[in-house]
Amino acid sequence: MAKRILITGGAGFIGSTIADLFLEAGWDVAVLDDLSSGKRESVPPAARFYPVDVRSAAALEVLKKERPQVICHQAAQIDVRRSMAEPRFDADVNVGGLLNLMQGAVEAKSVEHVLFASSGGATYGDTDRVPTPEDHPQLPVSHYGAAKAASELYLNVYRANYGIPFTALRYSNVYGPRQDPHGEAGVVAIFCGRLLEGRPCTIFGDGSQTRDYVFAGDVARANLLAAEKRYDGPLNVGTGVETDVNELYAHLARAAGSDRPAEHAPARLGEQKRSCIDPSRAGAAVGWRPEVRLADGLRRTFEWFAARRRAA
């Protein structure tokens, strides 16, 4: 009998990629998403879909009905800038949503493992160890990072009191097909959208700030391996390679065939200077390593955006 998984945020670009992979691996998949940023068409047809807010009483009813063995919690408020402007809203979604879900898990009495989408950049903050390992103190410099770190502490409480183990998958900067270039989007999706529209791309600050960019398909595989291995604890999900924003733009401009330089604007509040995480524990613990090289992943992502634009 197939194992049952409930994926929150499963209409988002990461969540839907995870849903596809679990279905391919033979799992029974249900998706919960309020479609505030996700897309209904991204939910795989073979997954049962519930258009529900993770903070709601309806989410508890979904848990009672589905009785999943694994919860993959991807639903989140992901905009760091919005978290700085509206910290209570960020905490309501990211901490309140998790607590509602975990209370439902306790009541459902079926949940054996939780996969939690944490942040390997935002929870560590500015560090003196780059690439940063999992045992580094979590010192977030944004409300978003603080909410993710707090969520890991709350999951420790549920493990201690109710025996529910969890994997905190600390993602670096995830990019890939299906990412929305509008609203709460990562820089890759924003640059792809603007290059296709012939509009200038804006880099905040001098562009020397670095990030660790990991492909969504690799992230989905990390979730599947963590679920199959029942790994309990934090795992960094990144490449261990720093890329600055100027270099990132250069890759995408080449993919677009554009020689237009980026524009620059003042640096943003709460933004880290360097962020890169050490993925070696994931390799040792569950056999995961990133497989998609940055240049190839960015080219594939740009081609997906270009194809979607042509189809529209």
Beta-carbon contacts of 3 under 8 Å, excluding residues fewer than 6 positions away, are 27, 28, 69, 70
DSSP result, 49-112: EE---TTSHHHHHHHHHH--SEEEE------HHHHHH-HHHHHIIIIIHHHHHHHHHHHH----
Tell me which H or E stretch contains 32: strand 28-32
Other residues' Cβ atoms within 10 Å of the Cβ of residue 259: 7
> Which residue is catalytic, options 124, 144, 175, 249?
144
As a dihedral over the C-alpha atoms of residue 146, residue 121, residue 9, residue 25, rounded to 10 degrees, the angle is -140
Is the peptide bond prior to 131 cis by the omega test (within 30 degrees of 0)? Answer: yes
Alpha helix positions (H), 109-234: 143-162, 187-197, 216-229
User: What is the number of other CB atoms lying within 10 angstroms of the CB of residue 247?
Assistant: 14
Annotated active-site residue 144? The verdict is yes
Report the SS3 class of residue 234: strand
Contact criterion met (CB below 8 Å) for 181 and 192: yes
- The residues assigned a catalytic role are 144
